[in-house]
Each structure stands twice: as C-alpha cells, then as structure tokens.
Structure 1
Amino acid sequence: MKLIVNTETLTHPLRGIGNYTLHLLKGLRQQATPGTVMCFNGSDRLLTIEEVEASLKNAACDADSLICRELICEAPRDAIDARFRELTRSHTDAVYLEPECLNRPFDGRVIPIIYDLSPFRHPEFHRDAYRAMLQTCVPACLERAAHILTVSEFTRSELVSLWGLPRDKITIVPPGVSPEFHPRSPEDVEATRKKYKLPAKYLLAVGTLEPRKNQTNLIAAYSRLSKSLRTHHALVLIGAQGWGAERLEAVIRSYRHPDELFWLGYVEQADLPALYSGAYGFVYASVYEGFGMCLLEAMASGVPVLTSNQSALPEVANKVALLTNPLNLNSLTRNLERLIRDEAFRSNAHLEGPEKTLNYSWDTSAQQVARTLKKMAETH
C-alpha cells in the first residue's frame, strides 16, 4: 500500500508529535516496499523518508529554529493546499497519514493521528490563531477520516467524549522508547554531568517551556522545600522555548539561588540518555498530555518519577511513579519531598521502571500501524 505522510511539523528540535511521527516513519521503512512511503513537508516535491531524516539531521539548532509548532498557523494555507493537491493528484490510491490534523485536500483515504486535544480542553495554553485553526481543521479531518490513530486510551476517550466517535474507529498506537535510554553507572554519566556543570544530585524536568508544562508551579513548589533538600538536590530544567515562555523565563531569572536551579535550554539528543540516567529523580508536572514520552525515557533509565495525576500521565506511569495534583502547590511540594526521601519507593522504581517500558518499542508501534493500513487495504 502507498502512504503519504504529512511531515510539515517535523522541525528541529523535535517535540512530542514530531518525535512520534519520525520514529513511525523509520519503522514503516522496514515494513514498506521502497518508494511507497512519500512525505510532504511543504516543498515542491514529495520526499523519501531518507530525505526527511537527512533534512532533520542537517538542520542547525539556532535561535530561529527553536520556534513552537504553533507557528504552522501562520503559513500561507491556500498556497500550501494547492501544492499538496497537485503533488498528490496522481496518488489517490494511497493513504494520507496526517499527524497534525492540518486537513490538506486529498481525494483518497485519510488517517489522522491525534496526539492530544489540549487546544480543545485547555484553550488558555495556546495561541489564538493556532487554536482557531485547529478548531476548524480537526473536526473536518475527523469527519472525513477512514480511520483514526491515537496514542493512549485517555486520548481515545477524549475523542469519543468530544465528537461521539465510535471506539472501534480509533486504534491506539502508543509511542516506543529508544534503547539508548537505560540505567547507567555513575561513571558512565560523569562526563555529561560535568559538561553541563551539574551537581552530583539533581531532579530533572524535561519539556518545552510553555504554560501547559507547568514549570512555573514546579519551581514554586521546589522553592518551598527545606534549604537542606534544595542544597543537595538541585532542580534542572531541559527544554526549548515554546509559546508563552516569557513568564517562566522571568521566574527562572529571578530565582535567588543559581546553584539550586539550572535551565539548560535545548539539549542535544545524544546527551539526554546520560542526563536522565544521572538524575536523582524525574519530575513531569504537566497539566495535560496525550501521552508523555519523557516518562517512558525516565522510567527506562531507572529513574524514580513524580508526575501529574491528570490526563494520560497516570495511564503511562501506572503503579511505577508517584502521582500528584500539578496545580496544588502543597501536594506538589509534599510529593517532591517524598521523591527525594522515600527510599522504599526509590528502590522499587529503579527496578520497576525499566521493566515496565519493555512493553513499549518503536518497532511494535510501526507494526501496529502497518497492520492497520493492511486491514484498510483489504476492506477497501
């Protein structure tokens, strides 16, 4: 079966849906006949998977590239729609895989990928133009969908709740976790820790700097810990700037004890596994997520995890992580202290995290997508 994949939002640095799409593409390359997977990135021709990978690999990570994906709404829609229609006119026998619900014009079968529905559940966390675009595009894309892929039971339930879609029209294909994320010895992470001038013990938080990720509350809760705990367990934030990061940046700059709070900004992918594994604990206090791939990465690295008790995060971290109300500072502070002090929990997490993530692999995810596409071909 031929497949057309919209890769317009695969920009450097990759974030959730971009990471998911790229890994699926790599996996599908092993499942598909060469030349049957074509990618549209807004240019004047369809690209191969290898060309998309090369483009990402060669992309420079400068200040202009660290833009949030929400700027896609500022692209000239009519011109890009016309380009897409012209390039795909002779491929209407293909399936069009749409990871961002941009709803490009296509006369064949469409499969949207729904990662999360944050613009609908939490419009306050998104730019007005982006929210308005999705509020038009997503319902239209779902209405014409031959089938729908999503990443969690939580997001499938959201789709059913918001639009009354039949559950059997939605297939859950969770992300995988790359094998680079695994427990490492202190000696194996020492060079990376020194590269970023980090203390021996630190709590790690990974995520784009934007309101939904709730880093402002995390810093406030962390600041309520005793001076002794903060002195011996710094808070390290990793993440590129996203939309609405100005307030958070101001909070980071105004923090009075620079030896307690580190913001590394965007970090090269090659350094992330060691930074995860070297962490004393991992914190992901996001308000709303469709999945939360960084939870898998932290658990696979054998790091004790504290995450939100909301959206898909309990589903992903079930029975392995500590859960907290991300909007209640007392709860967040109390659980940060437990993350540091509870030796029984920490000991179990070191063992149970890597074991739980064995169920998640990108090969399995790609195989699930391939099976869904094959089933569609057989019933078409």
Structure 2
Amino acid sequence: MQIALNARILQAPRTGIGHYLTELIHALSQESDVELSLFHGWGWSPMLPAAALPGYSRITPVLRQIPGAYQARRWLEQRRFDKGRPQTVDLYHEPSLWPLAFKGPTIVTLHDLTHVHYPATQPAARLKEIERRLEQGVKQASLILTDSQFIADEAQAYFGLGPERFIVAPLGAAPRFHPRTDDELRSVLLSHGVEPRGYFLCVGTLEPRKNLLQALRAHALLPESMRQQFPLLIVGMAGWKTEQLNEELRKRMLEGTVCLLGYLSDEHVAQLIAGARALIFPSLYEGFGLPVLEAMASGTPVVVTRRSAMPEVAGAAGNYIEPHDLNGLRDAMSRLVDDQTHWQACREAGLQQARLFSWNRCATLTARAYRQALGG
C-alpha cells in the first residue's frame, strides 16, 4: 500500500499532534506492506521535515487580518498536493483537522473536538475554516481514527455517524520516556536548580483549557516549606488568553516557588518528566493526554482530572481530582510528598498502566485501517 500522509504540521514546533505524527511515521516503517509518501506543504518527500523554532506560525498575525488568507493558503496547498503526488498512491491519510481533496480512499485522524468546546483557541478566520471543512472531511472519510474511545463516542454523536466508521488507535510513549537514575538526571535538573523528585511539573501549552491557573493556586496552598522544597516547574509555549495566568505566574515566580521554563527540547522534557515528584495535569479537556502516559512510562506519578479521555489513559494509576477543587489538588500534591508508600504505589501502577500503550500498537491499528479502507 502506498499511503500519502500529510506531514505539513511537522514544520511547526512539535507539540501533541506533531509528536503523534513523528512517532507514527517511525512505527509504520515496521509495517511491511506500508510505503509512505510525505507531503510537507511545499512538496513531497520520504523524509521527515525538521521542526520549526518556537514562535513559528504559518499564518502570521498580520496575514490573519487579510480577508481570505486561510482560503488562499489552502488553495495553494491543494495545488502543491496534487502536482507532485506520486501517481501510485492508494490512500490518503490526513492526521490533523481536515483533509485536502483526494479522489480515492481517505482516512482522517480526529484527535479531539477542541474547536467545539473551546472555539476561542482558534483565530476567528481559522475557526470558520475548520467548521466549514472538518464536517465535510469527516463525512467523506472512509474511516476515522481517534486516539481514544471518548473521542470516538463524542464524534459519533456530534457528526451523526455510526461506530463502524471509527477505529480507536491509542497513542504510545516514545522510547525516551523511561525511568532514569538520579545520576542520569542530575545535570539537567541542576541547571534548573532542582533535585530528582524535588519538584512538581506541568507540561502543556499555556492556555485556559490546560487549567494551569488551578495548578498555580493549589501549589500556593501548600505549606511554605513544602513549596520551597518542591517548587512547581512549567514547560510549554505561550497560548491564548494568558493574561490572568501571567499575573498569577509573576506573583509566584517572584516568590521563588514557580519557574516557567518555556519550550524545551524533547530530550530535556523527557528528563524533567522522569525526575519530577509528580506530573500535575489538571486539564479540562483532552483527546488523549499524551504527557500523562509519558509520565507514567517514566515512573512519575500523575495527578489528573476525571474528564474526557484522561481516565482511559491513566486508569487505576491516576490521582484524580475535580477540575476546580483547589483543596483536592493541594491534598493530592501533599500526599505525594508526605506518603512515600503511596508515591511508590502510584509509580508502580503508572509503569504497569503505561505498558498497555505503544506506538507499535498504534501503527498496527492504523495500518489495519488502511487495509480496511482499501477493501482488504
């Protein structure tokens, strides 16, 4: 099977969907009957593109003000997609949002319905394009891949489609996410002034959906000595509507109990996750919650909300909280410091839960979807 895979998103800084696509491409190379042709937005290549630097944007704020900017870019991408595509392509896989036009079987990966629940996460012009094209793309797709059963169920109800149109292909944790010794971690952690298991960690784009403001406020409720001994480190790029978050961040950073690290390299993030006392992930909505799985695979306990797909990922290993329960989040953090037996049990449960997921399994299910869409 020759598969046309839209890899344009890999030219942006790698966040959730970018990591999904990178790992999926690597894992699909183990499927003997799958041959990939990657569309990079400007042309075709069998090679993965290099990721852009943080702050990179395909549509700049200036261009967003130009009427029809998204439509013009879309038109240009469609021409490039058609012009250089190998004639022997059997199927087109669109891994992000909405597919380009293709006269043949199409598979779409639908990661979540964030644009429905949190429309302000998108610029107005882009949201209009998503709403106009996504439903059409989903309905024309032969099959729809989702990262979780939660999203499959949600999409079936939202688009009015039957369950036979969906295949759930859960994500995996990359090999760099594994337990590490203190000696392996010390160099990177010392550069941030922390010790192994001596800090809490948040990972994610700074935007309201990630609920990081609650993490900041719950951490501030811990005893001062605990806050000093176990500061809160935050890794991620700035997102939208961060004004209130920034105000709280400045306050806590001045106290010296919170540190904003920004966008870091993949290996750097993996070491920080492996060295944390716990990953604090109070997100309001996730199609999967990849950092939760990555933390568990690294032997790091996780504190998560019992929302959307996160119980599917964390299973019995999660320390569950309600999204706006500050005292509950504070207590979960405190227990992971004070109760070493509980911390060790969470670590072991997380490692066991993480073994249920792998990128090879994701690729196997994806290749199976290709074969099914082609009538195999």
TM over 0.5: yes
- Aligned partner of 2:45 in structure 1 is 47
Match of 1:295 among 292, 296, 304: 292
Counterparts in 2 of 1:123 and 1:236: CA distance versus 1, 3 Å: same
Counterparts in 2 of 1:214 and 1:74: CA distance versus 1, 3 Å: farther
Counterparts in 2 of 1:303 and 1:191: CA distance versus 1, 3 Å: same
- Aligned partner of 2:274 in structure 1 is 277
Counterparts in 2 of 1:67 and 1:326: CA distance versus 1, 3 Å: farther
1:159 matches 2:145 = no
Count of aligned positions = 368
Match of 1:133 among 129, 136, 139: 129
1:321 matches 2:318 = yes
- Contact 1:67–1:242, Cα closer than 8 Å, also in 2: no
Tell which deviates more after alignment, 249-258 or 183-192.
Answer: 249-258
Counterparts in 2 of 1:199 and 1:75: CA distance versus 1, 3 Å: farther
The residue type equivalent to 1:46 in the other structure is: W
Give the TM-score taking structure 2 as reference length.
0.90
Query: Could you tell me how far apart the structure 2 residues matched to 1:190 and 1:66 are?
Result: 37
Deviation digits for residues 95-150 of structure 1, max 9, x if unmatched?
11111133311111110001111111222443323322211121011110101101
Residue 175 (structure 1) shift: 0.8
- Aligned partner of 1:9 in structure 2 is 9
Counterpart secondary structure, 1:168: helix
- Aligned partner of 2:22 in structure 1 is 22
- Aligned partner of 1:233 in structure 2 is 230
Query: Could you tell me how far apart the structure 1 residues matched to 2:125 and 2:214 are?
Result: 26
Query: Could you tell me how far apart the structure 2 residues matched to 1:148 and 1:219 are?
Result: 37
Query: Could you tell me how far apart the structure 2 residues matched to 1:100 and 1:114 are?
Result: 7
Counterparts in 2 of 1:267 and 1:378: CA distance versus 1, 3 Å: same
Counterpart secondary structure, 1:340: helix
Deviation digits for residues 176-195 of structure 1, max 9, x if unmatched?
11222122222221111112
Counterparts in 2 of 1:103 and 1:64: CA distance versus 1, 3 Å: closer
- Aligned partner of 1:217 in structure 2 is 214
Match of 1:148 among 135, 144, 148: 144
The residue type equivalent to 2:39 in the other structure is: F
Give the TM-score taking structure 1 as reference length.
0.89
Counterparts in 2 of 1:310 and 1:13: CA distance versus 1, 3 Å: same
The residue type equivalent to 2:146 in the other structure is: T
Counterparts in 2 of 1:174 and 1:33: CA distance versus 1, 3 Å: same
Query: Could you tell me how far apart the structure 1 residues matched to 2:263 and 2:146 are?
Result: 27
Tell which deviates more after alignment, 365-374 or 306-315.
Answer: 365-374
Counterpart secondary structure, 1:31: coil
The residue type equivalent to 1:193 in the other structure is: L
Counterpart secondary structure, 1:190: helix
Counterparts in 2 of 1:317 and 1:257: CA distance versus 1, 3 Å: same
Residue 245 (structure 1) shift: 3.5
Structure 2 unmatched runs, 5+: none
Query: Could you tell me how far apart the structure 2 residues matched to 1:295 and 1:319 are?
Result: 13
Deviation digits for residues 279-319 of structure 1, max 9, x if unmatched?
11111111100001111111111111101111111111011
| Root mean square deviation, CA, Å | 2.4
- Contact 1:199–1:234, Cα closer than 8 Å, also in 2: no
Match of 1:341 among 329, 338, 345: 338
- Contact 2:99–2:137, Cα closer than 8 Å, also in 1: yes
Query: Could you tell me how far apart the structure 2 residues matched to 1:75 and 1:329 are?
Result: 46
- Contact 1:212–1:288, Cα closer than 8 Å, also in 2: yes
Deviation digits for residues 259-278 of structure 1, max 9, x if unmatched?
21011111111222221121
